[in-house]
Structure 1
Amino acid sequence: MPKMSSEAAVRSQRMTLHGPTMGTRWSASIDAGPAVELPVLRQDLAAAVEQVDAQMSPWKPHSDLVRLNRAPVDAWVPLSPEILEVLECALEVQRLSAGAFHPCVGALVDAWGFGAVRETPDAHAIRAARQSLPLAAHGCLELDKAAGHVRKHVPLQIDLCGIAKGYAVDRMADVLHQHGVQHALVALDGELRAVGPQASGIPWAVGLESPETGRRTVHSVIELEDLAVATSGDYRRYLEVGNQRLAHTMDARSGAPVNNAVASVTVLARTCMQADAWATALLVAGPDEGLAMAQRMGMDVFFLLRHARGLTEVGLGRFGNSADPFQCVDRANRNR
């Protein structure tokens, strides 16, 4: 992509918009031209993420997701096009990842103390959730996008926390395009998407967090231009039970929180919804299966693996090719 002229760059002003949502904050760094109405843009960005939260939150009692979870088996439930799009993607990633990503772990999330029901694990609830969880959501959940409705064929408790934030970032990117913004970086937690480069023509620099509990430090830096990135790890949300630390991400195959050598996994994709879902899937799949899966699918991923002597880095795709100017990992940050 050709760089913007210095004159055009001067006409742009760097602005940062932000606000609360989904228990965290959204933000948008924008190189805005004079025609962009910033108050209206901020309002539209906030509305976009709030709509996703209202539709897909497992904590809001009137969300589309909660309505679907409470609906009787075999009853068609009318849903918005947005949640249908996310459900379709979730089912596809579930299939392609052989169940490492599973959208029906809601009962497990609650049973282990990470949901809206309880704050500590409950052994009886865990056993019940394991017994009721289908190995594959395909065949158990039927989508009719043309008619705009969904039905369950068995009792299911769907959880979209591993994909909804990424989708919300995509919705923010859509809003920016609608406002004519060509240079921006939008973020929600560990999910980000670049709309074009910066006004100067330089890609956006994004820091990847070091997987350390209790502090936020930059491990390395990547460059984004018209790409999305998402990171999943075991170091932010967790429960401490005795001497054990339980990560919040569920492995549907074991019926328990993920427990493997992956400290974090970062995925690049064209949409943040895809990056978010696959970062979750590869974290659950683990170092061997996850790396094989990512390599087989030609994905751009960066694993940080825990070992007794520290962290080991494994990069595939753009992360494995330091000569690619579209992506660079700043190794100087790692060797401090």
Structure 2
Amino acid sequence: MSTETHTTQRHNLSGATMGTRWSAVLYAQAGLDLSVIRSELQQAVDQVDQQMSTWKPESDLMQLNAVSCGQWLSVPDELLWVLSSALRISADSEGAFEIGVGALVSACGFGPDAPLNTWPDKQPSAHEVLEVDSENARVRKHAPVTLDLNGIAKGFAVDQMARCLARHGITSYLVSIDGEMRVSGVKADGCEWSVALEKPLKGQREVLGSLALSNTAIATSGDYRHWREQNGQVFSHTMNPYTGAPLLSDLASVSVLCTSCMYADAWATALIVLGVEHGAQLAKAKGLSAIFVVRDGDGLREVTVGL
């Protein structure tokens, strides 16, 4: 009897999303309908973009930003979950992870609007003014705040891709959007997935090292991919909610490993805001695995927690 239909094959799928690309590498039986799976993966990331983008005026997030204070707004379950998770991580990270920085992000030129010469007045923390009614799937603001989910939405989209593959019974895969990745199982040869860590260098791509991973997610926040120069000062797309200004730090990047890419994404942002000393202490206290890459003179220094 032929065993051809039980042969495991490697498949590579990809597509455009959120101004970048998503990719999926998976091992599955021969005869798999890749067109269906690719379509569902694209739908999964498109749904996140449509709900949570700050670049789409019609997105659910932008509708929430525009709605009057005190007015309830019904939102999709996915956005409700991400908002609720963001507020929990904000509390757990001592406010280092903050989604109420949309006005500052826009002023710095990391949104669809032109950059400003000055930073806006510091807005209240989202957890102080945002009320989430999970039972009735609705949200309202009690004071003006502009929300930005760029520190968590891509990680959530990666998790949605993983859920899509799981629904098809696929247990061996690597899905990614930029530096946010999630892996499941092992490759066909029994080896774990090899994931490269980039050196935090502006304008070039070099490998700092690699990790062998299985059944985990990894996300990296750094100052070397998206940055601007203004008035002779270079700053990254990460905002410092404590100062109400772009983050300035000798901490070049933080990578966090955990079971959910959404949590890894948000915690990587929180830890880079906290800095290597306080960030490493909090990561240890929370049971997180993290890699801190610090600029030390002309070189780089690594600090690891939980690895």
- Which SS does the other structure have where 1:172 is aligned? helix
Q: Which moved more, 1:286-295 or 1:179-188?
A: 286-295
What's the counterpart of residue 68 of structure 2? 72
Q: 1:160-192: CA deviations, max 9, x gaps?
A: 000000000000000000111111100001100
Residue 137 of structure 1 and its aligned partner are, at CA, apart by 2.3
Offset at residue 13 of structure 1 (A): 1.1
1:127 and 2:120 aligned? yes
Query: How far off is 1:139 after superposition?
Result: 3.4
Deviates most, 198-207 or 49-58: 198-207
Give the AA of the match of 2:120: R
Structure 2 residue aligned with 1:28: 24
- Aligned residue for 2:126, secondary structure, equals coil
Query: Is the Cα contact below 8 Å between 1:36 and 1:181 reproduced in 2?
Result: no
Aligned residue identity for 2:258: A
Q: 1:301 is matched by which residue type in structure 2?
A: A
- TM superposition shift of 1:34: 2.2
Return the alpha-carbon distance in structure 2 between the equivalents of residues 197 and 146 of structure 1: 38
Aligned to 1:197: 186
* Secondary structure at the counterpart of residue 203 of structure 2: coil
Match of 1:90 among 86, 92, 100: 86
Q: Residue 36 of structure 1 contacts residue 179 of structure 1 at CA under 8 Å; is this kept in 2?
A: no
Shift of 1:81: 0.4
Aligned to 2:215: 226
Which sits farther off after the overlay, 196-205 or 186-195? Answer: 196-205
Paired with 1:81 and 1:200, the residues of 2 have a C-alpha distance of 38
| 2:241 counterpart of 1:252 | yes
Q: Quick one: which of 5, 9, 14 aligns to 1:13? A: 9
Write the deviation string for residues 73-93 of structure 1: whole angstroms up to 9, x where unpaired. 010000000001100110011
- Give % identity: 46
Q: Deviations over 1:276-312 (max 9, x none)?
A: 0000110111112211111211210000001114111
On the 8 A contact 1:36/1:180 being kept in 2, the answer is no
CA distance in structure 2 between the aligned counterparts of 1:203 and 1:222, rounded to whole angstroms: 9
Gaps of 5+ in 2: none
Q: What is the match of residue 51 of structure 2?
A: 55
| Structure 1: gaps (5+ residues) | 1-6, 319-336
The question of whether the paired residues in 2 share the 8 Å contact of 1:304 and 1:311 is answered with yes
Query: What whole-Å deviation, never above 9, does each CA across 1:187-246 have from its counterpart, x for those lacking one?
Result: 001100002211222111000111111111111101111100000100010011243211
Task: Work out whether residues 15 and 31 of structure 1, in 8 Å CA contact, stay in contact via their aligned partners in 2.
Answer: yes
Aligned to 1:294, which of 283, 291, 296? Answer: 283
- Conservation of the 8 A alpha-carbon contact between 2:103 and 2:120: no
| TM-score relative to the length of structure 1 | 0.88
**2:104–2:120 CA contact under 8 A, matched in 1:** no
Equivalent pair of 1:113/1:122 in contact (CA under 8 Å): no
* Partner Cα distance (1:72, 1:242) in 2: 35
- Indicate the SS of the match to 2:128: coil
2:132 to 132, 143, 167: 143
Q: Within 1, Cα distance between the matches of 2:231 and 2:204?
A: 22
1:239 pairs with 223, 228, 250, which one?
Answer: 228
Structure 2 CA distance, aligned partners of 1:277 and 1:225? 21
Greater alpha carbon shift after TM alignment, 30-39 vs 189-198:
30-39
- SS of 1:259's equivalent? coil
Secondary structure (helix, strand or coil) at the match of 2:300 reads strand
Aligned pairs, how many? 305
The offset of 1:122, in angstroms, is: 2.7
* Cα deviations by residue, 1:244-275 (Å, 9 ceiling, x for unpaired): 21111111111111111111100001000000
Q: What is the DSSP-based 3-state SS (H/G/I as helix, E as strand, rest coil) of the residue aligned with 2:221?
A: strand
- Aligned-partner Cα distance in 1 for 2:14–2:120: 41
28-37 or 140-149, larger mean C-alpha shift? 28-37
CA distance in 2, matches of 1:306, 1:68: 39
The list of structure 1 runs, each at least 4 consecutive aligned residues, that deviate by more than 6 angstroms after superposition, is: none
AA of the residue aligned to 1:122: N
- Among candidates 233, 253, 262, match of residue 273 of structure 1: 262
Report the alpha carbon displacement of residue 35 of structure 1 after superposing the two structures with TM.
4.8
| Letter of the 1:221 counterpart | S
Three-state SS of the structure 2 residue aligned to 1:138 is helix
Check the 8 A contact 1:227/1:269 in 2, yes or no. yes
C-alpha separation in 2, matches of 1:127 and 1:266: 30
